[in-house]
Amino acid sequence: MSTRPGRAAIVATAGESIARGSRSFAAASRLFDRRTRERAWLLYAWCRRADDIADGQDHGHGAHAVADPEARIEAIRLRTEAALAGEWIGDAGFDGLRIFLAETGAPEGLVRDVVAGFALDAQGWRPASEDDLYRYCYHVAGAVGCLMAVAMGVTDAAVLDRACDLGIGFQLANIARDIAEDEAAGRCYLPPEWLAEGRVAAAAKLAERAAAYAASGRGGTAALGFRSAWAVLAAAGIYGDIACKVTERGEAAWDKRVSTGIVGKLGWIARSLGPAWNRKRLYPQERPGNLWTRPR
């Protein structure tokens, strides 16, 4: 008799993963309908598991320099390819990806683009230009945004572009929050000209760009169902708060990790209800032409 865990068990494990790894995404995901929420958890759990393997951490905590980065990326790639081929891996994160792919028919190229983002970090990659920064953000977050949109039933390329923009906006906010932490780990995601201006100025630029990409991302909510739009708008507000707090604190922004507390999260959930109802009227349908565009 097979002892392979069923879908419900893998989804439950994925729910535990998002609860431990990202309170912001966990809170916003509660607004989805059940099937979309479960698929969002499965996608998150794969990303979290792969990131933990790459950085030798536990649910995003305790990252440290690893002695075998290339071997770890190869392990991620092989397990991901197995999931893409419909195989069971015996690892809840990757088996969750298998279920996600089977249920959504998500493009395999997007999945491989995310794996390429892990490889960039393993190679000690640094951006040579602002476009490089956005390309990196695409691989580690924009492509995930596209996959999340697929979980919501999106197939239109123009709407996927907006989902990508939102993911890039989230990652830019993360980079602003983690400048000092990344520096201590020997990583840098700032273009040389931004780096030369100092942390505070660089963080302000990151926050400004994050807001622009997030605004474009909100424009995609017109194509979503109400509950999905509500979840997306709540997440955008929560992450927008992170970038704003970093700029408000100036040099003190990295003394303590910036976060949005439970009251702040609940506040954004409440404030996003009205905009979700009125999303087709409130948010621009045309994507701004001055934003970096994902590869096709």
Same domain, 257 and 194: yes
Residues 48, 79, single domain; the answer is: yes
Position 121 in a domain: no
Mean pLDDT for each 10-residue chunk of the chain (296 residues)? 80 93 87 96 96 74 69 96 96 96 97 96 92 97 98 96 97 95 89 95 96 96 96 94 92 90 92 96 91 92
The answer to whether residue 113 sits within a structural domain is: no
Structure tokens at 94: 């990757």
Task: Using the structure block, give the residue that is written with the tokens 């996927």.
Answer: 160
Residue-level pLDDT at 1: 42
Task: Give the count of alpha carbons within 13 A of 128, CB side only.
Answer: 0
Print the domain residue range for 74.
1-107
pLDDT, residue 57, reads: 61
Contact status, residue 206 vs residue 172, Cβ threshold 8 Å: yes
Q: How many domains does the chain have?
A: 2
- Residue carrying the six token digits 């100025």: 201
CB 100 within 8 A of CB 46: yes
Of 103, 73, 104, 78, nearest to 90 (Cα)? 78
CATH code for position 250: 1.10.600.10
Question: Does residue 120 fall inside a structural domain?
Answer: no
> Burial, 37: exposed, middle or buried (Cβ in 10 Å; 0-12, 13-18, 19+)?
buried
Pseudo-torsion of CA 290, 275, 225, 216, nearest 10°?
A: 10
